[in-house]
Structure 1
Amino acid sequence: MPAQAFSFALFLFCYYAHAGTWSTYATLFFAEHGMTVAQIGVLMSMIQVLRIIGPNVWGYVADHYDRRVTVLRVAGFAALIGFSGFFIGSTFGHFMLAMVVLNLFTSGQAPICEALMLSEMRGDLTHYGRIRMWGSIGFIVAVSASAYALDHYGIVALPTIAAGLLVLTIVAAFRLHDVPRHRHQEAPLPLLTLLRRREVIAFFASTALMVAAHTSLYTFYSLYLERNGYSKTVIGAMWSLGVLAEVALFYFQAPLFRRWRPMQLMYLTLLLAVARFVMIGMAAHLLWLLIVAQLMHAATFALHHSSSVMTLQRWFSGPLQARGQALYMSLSYGIGGSLGGLFLAQWWQAAGPSSVYYVAALLCLLSLGAAMLSARWQQHDGH
């Protein structure tokens, strides 16, 4: 187990506790302050849009100056200052500025933490899943606990709760210390040279398509279930089931990676994702089948994420480690998530809710094709 395993787990727990609580309930907070649906949509889109910019900025700074923990701490304080905007104003302009500053700084923290973890593990990712799962546990614990607090005190308490979780994230960052990066005998390729390689382009295209498909869940799943007559209790239970499934996979994934290569497991996750989205689209009124589909979140999110992180180490290591994780976050979740959400929102309005999940299945098939191309080109080029 890495020397800083507890500190990494604590940071991820606090980070995803804040991110999950704020992203889950912010729409209710904005609505309470008179924002229109269109304004709320713009405000919430900043979470994805700033993932395009923030991780790359802070990944570059962390790698260039080799002070990754310092960047984590400074970003935490800056995010807290930005978050104060939710206490001192209630106009769309105030909220917009606060969302931009908050997400500019928080979006780079998770990839930098993961880069630190990978440096300390020195290529042995046996314990990666059991540390990363604490982010998922933080998410579900904080979202569930916040629900009770908000029922008791009202949505007005949300900024106080979320700010408290941000403070805990800063405290957790002060438990971390920098890890000397593994020095390779060969100098790494320049970043732009790597990004021009066709197997790298195909890999990022694959992960972006997979995340775009998953916006059918992150953005529309609750509404989809509600439209099909399910109660809020059932909807909440379905989300909890998905997170519990990913936690279980993170905990037990090590034997899978000892037996199969990351790219082989990625193929499996993409095939399961196709099946999952088809099941959701065709079985809206069959709760048992929706439960099976939700359990598949273990593969389509957790196993896919771990496979992607391990595949990235093929190209982005040493002095490129933080930027590799940042690029994964910005290209997949920033660009893929933003474009996927916009596209599927239009599709929902044009063709109906169920069809969104058939389109998501098609996106996963395209993702599988891109992943296979990436693997083929790696073998062809001898990398």
Structure 2
Amino acid sequence: MPAQAISFALFLCAYYAHAGTFSTYATLFFAGKGMSVGQIGVLMSMIQVLRIVGPNVWGYVADHSERRVWVLRMTGVAALTAFSGFFFGQTFVQFLLAMVLLNLFTSAQGPLCEALMLSEMRGDLTYYGRIRLWGSIGFIASVMAAAYALDAFGIMALPWIAGGLLVCVVLASLRLKEVKRLEHKTAPPPLWTLLRRREVIAFFCSTALMVSAHTALYTFYSLYLERHGYSKAFIGTMWSLGVTAEVLLFYFQAPLFRRWGARRLMYAALGVGVLRFALIGAAPQQVALLAGAQLLHAATFALHHSASVTTLQRWFSGPLQARGQALFISLSYGIGGSLGGLFLAQCWQRLGPQSVYYVASMMVAGAAVAAGLSFRWQREDGPR
């Protein structure tokens, strides 16, 4: 078990509690402030757009300064300052500015923490899932508690709840200590050389498509359920059900990876993703099917995320570790998520809410094709 396992767990718990609570209910908050569906789509896409910039900027600073913990603390304080805009904003432009500033700083924190964890684990990912699951636990507890608080006090209480959780992120960062990077006998290949490899390009295309599909959840799922007459408590329950399944997968994943490997589990996650999004689109009034689709989050998020991180270590480790995690977030969640969110917003407006989930299902099918090419080319090209 890593020496800082408890500290990592506390940070991830606070970080994903804030990120999950804000992203789950922000669409309802913006709707309550009079924003249109199109405007909400743009505002929520800033979560993904700033993942193109933030992780790479702060990952570069962290790698070159070798002060990753200091960067985590600094971005936490800056994010808390930026969050004050949600207490005073009233117009689309004001909220857009607040979203840009907030996500410029928070988008870097997850990959930086994971880079620290991977450095301390020295390539042994046995305990990765059992530490990472605390982020999911924070998500569940916070989303459920916030659901009841928002039903009692109204959606305008969201900034107070999410702001308080952001304070917890800053406090948790104070427990973390710097980890010395694993030194390699030979210098790693230049970053741009890695990014030009066809198997790396196909890998990032696959993860970008998978994350694009998940913007159907991150951006529209709460609004989708509300439009079908469900309460905030029900919405929170559905989110928590999915993340509970995610927690269980993270906890028990080590033997799965030892037996089946990242490639087979990646294929399994993608196959389940095609089914999951199609179910959500086909059965918005069927509670049992909605619940079943949420349980599949164990595969489409947790299994896919761990398989992606494991695959990523083939190319990005040592001095490239923080930037490798940053690129994963930027290319997959940043570019993939932002383009997916904007495209699916157009589907919602022109074709109706259910079309969002059918299109998401097709995106996952595309991700499976790209993953197949990446793994085939990895075998053909061999280690480099």
TM-score class normalised by the smaller sequence: over 0.9
Relative to the length of structure 2, the TM-score reads: 0.93
| Cα distance between partner residues in 2 of 1:335 and 1:86 | 25
CA RMSD across the alignment = 2.0
Match of 1:323 in 2: 323
Q: Contact between 2:18 and 2:166, CA under 8 Å: does it hold in 1?
A: yes
Deviation (angstroms), 1:136: 1.0
Q: Contact between 2:144 and 2:236, CA under 8 Å: does it hold in 1?
A: no
- Are residues 1:161 and 2:185 paired? no
- Are residues 1:125 and 2:125 paired? yes
Cα distance change, pair 42–293 in 1 and its aligned pair in 2 (3 A) = closer
Match of 1:212 in 2: 212
Task: Supply the AA of the counterpart residue of 1:377.
Answer: W
Structure 1 residues 42-191: aligned runs within 5 Å: 42-191=42-191
| Cα distance between partner residues in 2 of 1:162 and 1:285 | 30
Q: Deviations over 1:293-313 (max 9, x none)?
A: 221110011000011011111
Q: Deviations over 1:116-143 (max 9, x none)?
A: 0001111111111111111111112112
Match of 1:237 in 2: 237
Match of 2:13 in 1: 13
Cα distance change, pair 152–274 in 1 and its aligned pair in 2 (3 A) = closer
Q: Deviations over 1:209-262 (max 9, x none)?
A: 111112222233334445555555443322221111101111111110111211
Q: Deviations over 1:64-119 (max 9, x none)?
A: 11111111011111111212233455444433322211110110000000000001
Deviation (angstroms), 1:146: 2.3
Match of 2:24 in 1: 24
Cα distance change, pair 163–290 in 1 and its aligned pair in 2 (3 A) = closer
Cα distance change, pair 102–251 in 1 and its aligned pair in 2 (3 A) = same
- Say which is worse superposed, 368-377 or 150-159, in terms of deviation: 150-159
Cα distance change, pair 288–119 in 1 and its aligned pair in 2 (3 A) = same
SS in 2 for 1:180: coil
SS in 1 for 2:314: coil
Cα distance change, pair 168–221 in 1 and its aligned pair in 2 (3 A) = closer
SS in 1 for 2:183: coil
SS in 2 for 1:253: helix
Cα distance change, pair 227–21 in 1 and its aligned pair in 2 (3 A) = closer
Cα distance change, pair 308–272 in 1 and its aligned pair in 2 (3 A) = same
Deviation (angstroms), 1:37: 4.7
Q: How many residues align?
A: 383
Match of 1:301 in 2: 301
Cα distance change, pair 23–226 in 1 and its aligned pair in 2 (3 A) = closer
| Cα distance between partner residues in 1 of 2:87 and 2:236 | 28
Task: Supply the AA of the counterpart residue of 1:362.
Answer: M
- Say which is worse superposed, 102-111 or 290-299, in terms of deviation: 290-299
| Cα distance between partner residues in 2 of 1:200 and 1:74 | 32
Which stretches in structure 1 are left out of the alignment for 5+ residues?
none
Structure 1 residues 356-375: aligned runs within 5 Å: 356-375=356-375
Structure 1 residues 271-282: aligned runs within 5 Å: 271-282=271-282
Match of 1:263 in 2: 263
Deviation (angstroms), 1:381: 1.1
| Cα distance between partner residues in 2 of 1:334 and 1:124 | 28
Which stretches in structure 2 are left out of the alignment for 5+ residues?
none
Q: Deviations over 1:341-367 (max 9, x none)?
A: 222222233334433333222211211
- Say which is worse superposed, 124-133 or 221-230, in terms of deviation: 221-230
Task: Supply the AA of the counterpart residue of 2:361.
Answer: A
